[in-house]
Amino acid sequence: MISIKKKHGIKDVAREAGVSAQTVSNYFHRRSVVSPNTQMNIQKAIKKLNYTPNIFARGLRGTKTRTVGVAIPEIANPFYSDILDGLEKIATRRGYTLIVSCNSYNKNKLQRDLDVLSNHVDGIVVCTFTVEDEKISHYLAKGIPIVAIDIKVENDLIPSVEIDNYQTVYICIQYLINCGHRNIYFFSEPLLLPMFHDRLNGYLDCLKRNNLPIEPDKIIIEEGLKVQKTEATYRKLSCLIDAMNFPSALFATSDLMAIGAMKALVEKHINIPEQVSLIGLDNILLSEYSQPPLTTIDYPKREMGHKGMTMLIDYIDGKPVEKKRILLKTQIIERKSVINIKI
């Protein structure tokens, strides 16, 4: 017969220590009001009973849980791994633990995750997805601070850490044009967010201002590029290669897309960068080790995490948020996947 060991609660600890349950609660949350002798008795009781405090139960009673919820769209994408790394380092330094949810760009899943998190954490970070203003206001009214990372927040309702996506892509396309490229393809995930529209507009406006034609068949915006960036780009470009004019250039809104494009080009014996130049957006670790090494845009992912978590914990602690919208700088990292055909 299997014996199931009883899980002790805060009342058991109080009984063992000879104090009230409120005193044990104070020990966890306001230790300075508990005398040293009482603290010692409570510590002995905790050790004897092997008691582990339930952070979620504490959250339901309105006290701090020292946890922060993070909602991301993709858990396997190294872009979000870097953001999470930045978030986690600041959270750990300031005594917080992360609880991460992944929504796969599903708005209903995101909403369910946020509803659950808002009942159990001290604050929430939302990455690369928007939440309806009404819901945001509801969470704020519950006393749950929210910070947006990699989201264009247009109504000033919550603080954000982001980049200027329009200017970043504009500069990138201008770089390709300055290298002599005229056949420039644009690969993007669906335009679900304002920042994705900004990227497309940066591409279109740069072509216009350089008196280059806008050709719809060079603008590839596909549902599959949302979460299957590498595989979907590989499949799509494999079908497009025969109709391409060389030399061409391809801008992808993710390094993972550019790496998928590389595979398709190599299989068709298309030389990179002599026949097709490639440039990505993210500067994930893999981009430096692709063949050839990928020219890309350095996206300040870890810095986004650092600044976003610092902002959120300051918000939780009641400190004023000095700047509600932080725009971080990007830069082109030149490697070997773009050729200057003017030389």
* Cα distance between residue 321 and residue 201, in whole Å: 31
Which segments within 7-165 are labelled E, that is strand? 67-72, 97-102, 123-127, 146-149, 160-163
Q: What percent of the chain has pLDDT over 70?
A: 93
Same domain, residue pair 154 and 170 = no
pLDDT tens for 3-17 read 445 677 888 889 999
pTM score, whole prediction: 0.81
Query: Which two tokens mark 96?
Result: 């917080």
CATH number of the domain encompassing residue 116:
3.40.50.2300
* Cα distance between residue 248 and residue 269, in whole Å: 15
**Is the model more confident about 305 or about 320?**
305
pLDDT tens for 48-57 read 888 866 544 5
Does any domain span residue 342?
no
Determine the average pLDDT of the residues in 147-176: 94
Of 94-98, 129-133, 171-175, 226-230, the least confident: 129-133
Same domain, residue pair 183 and 226 = yes
Using the 3D structure, point to which of 261, 279, 299 is the last residue of a domain: 299
CATH number of the domain encompassing residue 47:
1.10.260.40
pLDDT tens for 318-334 read 887 778 899 999 999 99
Does any domain span residue 336?
no
Same domain, residue pair 169 and 261 = yes
Q: What is the pLDDT of residue 60?
A: 44
Q: What is the pLDDT of residue 11?
A: 85
Return the number of other C-beta atoms located less than 10 Å from residue 105's C-beta: 18
Same domain, residue pair 317 and 264 = no
Determine the average pLDDT of the residues in 43-68: 71
**Is the model more confident about 306 or about 53?**
306
Same domain, residue pair 181 and 287 = yes
Does any domain span residue 221?
yes
- Which of 224, 301, 200, 294 lies closest to 255, judged by CA? 294
Of 10-14, 148-152, 189-193, 296-300, the least confident: 10-14
Does any domain span residue 60?
no
CA distances from 246 to 259, 277, 284, 306 (A): 19, 10, 28, 42
Does any domain span residue 323?
yes
Same domain, residue pair 31 and 144 = no
Q: What confidence tier does 2 reach under pLDDT thresholds 50, 70, 90? A: very low
Does any domain span residue 198?
yes
Same domain, residue pair 108 and 139 = yes
Can you give the residue range of the structural domain that contains 257?
Answer: 165-299
Determine the average pLDDT of the residues in 76-91: 96
Q: What is the pLDDT of residue 9?
A: 80
Q: Please, which residues have CB within 8 angstroms of residue 238's CB and are 6 or more apart in sequence?
A: 264, 267, 268
Same domain, residue pair 24 and 96 = no
Same domain, residue pair 208 and 307 = no
Determine the average pLDDT of the residues in 244-258: 96
Same domain, residue pair 171 and 295 = yes
Q: What is the pLDDT of residue 154?
A: 81
Same domain, residue pair 16 and 95 = no
Same domain, residue pair 169 and 295 = yes
Q: What is the pLDDT of residue 53?
A: 64
Per the DSSP assignment, residues forming a β-bridge with 219 are 186
Total number of domains in the chain: 3
Q: Please, which residues have CB within 8 angstroms of residue 73's CB and are 6 or more apart in sequence?
A: 80, 102, 103, 104, 105, 127, 128, 129, 227
Report DSSP state, residue 155: S
pLDDT tens for 108-160 read 999 999 999 998 999 999 999 888 888 888 888 888 899 999 999 888 889 99
Given a contact cutoff of 8 angstroms between Cβ atoms, the answer to whether 294 and 278 are in contact is yes
* Cα distance between residue 98 and residue 76, in whole Å: 17
pLDDT tens for 255-295 read 999 999 999 999 999 999 999 999 999 999 999 999 999 99
Integer-rounded Cα Rg, in Å, for the chain is: 25
Does any domain span residue 2?
no
Q: What is the pLDDT of residue 289?
A: 96
Does any domain span residue 46?
yes
Given a contact cutoff of 8 angstroms between Cβ atoms, the answer to whether 214 and 277 are in contact is no
**Is the model more confident about 35 or about 7?**
35
